[in-house]
């Protein structure tokens, strides 16, 4: 008895099926970027809490942004690209300049903006501030532990963070 030779299954429509699936995934999914600047908001202080810490004026770097995205740092007009250098200089002053900070632990940065200031300006300035802090922390970590900040263990990171605490204050615009 001669066995009938098996015929090959036609796979020509396989491509169509795969295309269909592909298009389904193209339509229903997104390439989402899940990156962002992580911040912790300050907790609400009870209204009866009046004993606010006194901060000397020299330890505050005042950044003012108006409704037209123009920025004053300590009263001087500044561009986005200058924020990082100014901040680093301010934090690492260590009492040299009588108008600048006493030491990195006391340095506070205050951002004031209006309701009309654009989000992108705020993010830009914030990003530059974080860049300044990250660079300083990295430098300190390299000097002290010989490693980048991200490679340190938790205890070492805390030590670096205590040396360069991120004190960024934001005021609520009226």
Partner 1 sequence: MGKFSKKKDGGTPAISTASLPDIVFMLLFFFMVATVMRDNSMKVGIKLPSADQIKKIEKKGLVSFVYVGKPIPQYQAKFGKEPRIQINDAFADAKDVGPAFLAFKATKRQEEKPLLITSIKADKDVGMGIITDIKEELRKVNALKVNYSTNKGGVEKNQ
Show contacts with partner 1 in window 113-142 (CB under 8 A): 113-124, 126-128, 130-131, 134
By CB neighbour count within 10 A (0-12 exposed, 13-18 middle, 19+ buried), where does 43 fall? exposed
Orientation angle between helical segments 154-163 and 119-145, nearest 10 degrees? 110
Taking CB under 8 A as the criterion, the residue among 2, 3, 4, 28 binding partner 1 is 28
Angle at 90 between CA 100 and CA 153, to 5 degrees: 135
Instruction: Determine if 36 is a binding residue for partner 1 (CB under 8 A).
Output: yes
CA atoms within 13 A on the CB side of 141: 23
* Only segment of 39-47, 55-63, 100-108, 158-166 that touches partner 1 (CB under 8 A): 39-47
* Only segment of 47-55, 87-95, 112-120, 136-144 that touches partner 1 (CB under 8 A): 112-120
Show contacts with partner 1 in window 49-78 (CB under 8 A): none
Nearest to 134 by CA among 150, 152, 155, 119: 150
Sheet holding 108-113, edge to edge: 76-78, 71-73, 60-65, 108-113, 168-170
* Only segment of 33-41, 51-59, 101-109, 153-161 that touches partner 1 (CB under 8 A): 33-41
Q: How far is the CB of 8 from partner 1 (least distance, A)?
A: 11
Instruction: Determine if 148 is a binding residue for partner 1 (CB under 8 A).
Output: no
Question: H or E stretch including 64?
Answer: strand 60-65
Task: Look at residue 127 and give its three-state secondary structure.
Answer: helix
| For partner 1, the closer CB: 17 or 94 | 17
Instruction: Determine if 96 is a binding residue for partner 1 (CB under 8 A).
Output: no
Interface residues with partner 1 (CB under 8 A)?
Answer: 11-12, 14-15, 17-19, 21-22, 25-26, 28-44, 80-81, 113-124, 126-128, 130-131, 134, 172-173
């Amino acid at each position: 008895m001669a066995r009938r030779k098996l015929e090959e299954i036609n796979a020509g429509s396989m491509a169509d099926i795969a295309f269909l699936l592909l298009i389904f995934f193209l339509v229903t999914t997104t390439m989402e970027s899940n990156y962002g600047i992580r911040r912790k908001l300050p907790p609400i202080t009870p209204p009866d809490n009046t004993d606010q810490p006194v901060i000397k004026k020299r330890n505050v770097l005042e950044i003012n942004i108006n409704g037209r995205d123009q920025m004053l740092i300590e009263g001087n007009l500044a561009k986005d690209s200058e924020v990082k250098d100014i901040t680093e200089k301010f934090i690492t002053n260590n009492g040299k300049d009588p108008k600048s900070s006493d030491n990195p632990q006391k340095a506070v940065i205050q951002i004031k903006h209006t309701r009309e200031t654009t989000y992108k300006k705020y993010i830009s300035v914030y990003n530059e501030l974080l860049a300044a802090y990250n660079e300083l922390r990295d430098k300190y970590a390299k000097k002290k532990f010989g490693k980048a900040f991200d490679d340190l263990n938790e205890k070492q990171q805390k030590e670096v963070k205590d040396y360069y605490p991120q004190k960024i204050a934001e005021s609520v615009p009226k």
